[in-house]
Amino acid sequence: MKLNELFLETRARLIGAGLPASELEAEWIIDHTLGVTAIERIQQPERIVTPLECERIKSIIGRRVSGEPLAYILGEKEFFGFKFKVTPKVLIPRPETEHLVECALEWVQDNFTKGEPVELLELGTGSGCIVVTLLLLIPELKAVAIDISDGALDVAHENSLKHGVSDRLELIKGDASQTSALIGDKKFDFVLANPPYIERADARVDAFVRKFEPAIALFSSGLKGLEISSNWIAQLPQLLKPQRSAAGFEFGYNQAREVEGFFLGTGVFAKHEIVRDYSGHERLIWGMT
């Protein structure tokens, strides 16, 4: 079979299964399995695909049409233009979360001079996509990242090695509801988190997200699923340096007012802003002391 025929067949199967982004996913499946770049794929439509490669792609399509997320099948996901390893032990990095990285980059650029050291604490690091991206983009940055899941920490460690930033990242296993017990009285220039913030009973959660992604990364108890966010934010006064520090937290579609209340309740932020995501939803809060 020729490459262009295989591409059209793959795309047709994904469209037939009613999957959104079928064209893009067909491209990713082909490029990943054949080890070609997008340009090579376009330039070699007549390339012959071996029966083994066809079988591999068929098996991927079978898993995908039964609902398994493509990132878990391929074992990777792009975030902020960088490729991250992912396994079913970690949340698949979401495009919305890129806004947290953008806010952090802008804040560091506005408040630190070139060569000046900067220290970051991330709570609930998962795949490490946020912290590793920032370490890649800010050479002066050193970071500590905490997660309760061994599986997630293994993936974060692999991602830090893959991107060559492991020497500036300390990964700590533990419960971030007691961060000081894990890090002592150390204070940071900025703290970031994309905490588990979904209420278990929320009927809007996609069935495949619920089935395949780790519950510990998704759900939190309390009113509207805000227990973990409230707890982590309440610790910020102990975690931030008293001056020129900041914190950014992602939150759910209906949580802006409550999370803003938690930020104000800390009493440490002189100003804050709520930032919207690519779809126009209020998605994160950025506070500055």
Ligand X SMILES: C[S@@+](CC[C@H](N)C(=O)[O-])C[C@H]1O[C@@H](n2cnc3c(N)ncnc32)[C@H](O)[C@@H]1O
Sites of contact with ligand X (CB under 6 A): 90-91, 93, 97, 124-127, 129-130, 146-149, 152, 175-177, 194-196, 216-217
If DSSP codes are grouped into helix, strand and coil, which group holds residue 121?
Answer: strand
Residue 74: CB minimum distance to ligand X, A? 17
C-alpha of 195 from chain center: 10
Q: Please, which residue, 10 or 127, has the CB nearer to ligand X? A: 127
Q: Please, which residue, 229 or 245, has the CB nearer to ligand X? A: 229
Which phi and psi (to 5°) does residue 102 adopt? -60, -45
Q: What is the number of other CB atoms lying within 10 angstroms of the CB of residue 271?
A: 9
Residue 70: CB minimum distance to ligand X, A? 16
Residue 122: CB minimum distance to ligand X, A? 7
Q: Please, which residue, 152 or 191, has the CB nearer to ligand X? A: 152
Residue 201: CB minimum distance to ligand X, A? 18
Look at the alpha carbons of 142, 148, 150, 155 in this order and tell me if their dihedral is positive or negative: negative
| Nearest of 48, 73, 71 to residue 59 by alpha carbon | 73
Q: Please, which residue, 69 or 124, has the CB nearer to ligand X? A: 124
Count Cβ atoms within 10 A of the Cβ of residue 65 and give its class: 0-12 exposed, 13-18 middle, 19 or more buried. middle
Q: Please, which residue, 251 or 269, has the CB nearer to ligand X? A: 251
Give me the helix-helix angle, 22-34 and 51-65, nearest 10°.
Answer: 140
Q: How far apart are CA 181 and CA 215, in angstroms?
A: 25
Residue 257: CB minimum distance to ligand X, A? 20
Beta-carbon contacts of 47 under 8 Å, excluding residues fewer than 6 positions away, are 2, 3
Q: Please, which residue, 195 or 248, has the CB nearer to ligand X? A: 195
Q: Which two tokens stand for residue 245?
A: 């520090």
Residue 110: CB minimum distance to ligand X, A? 23
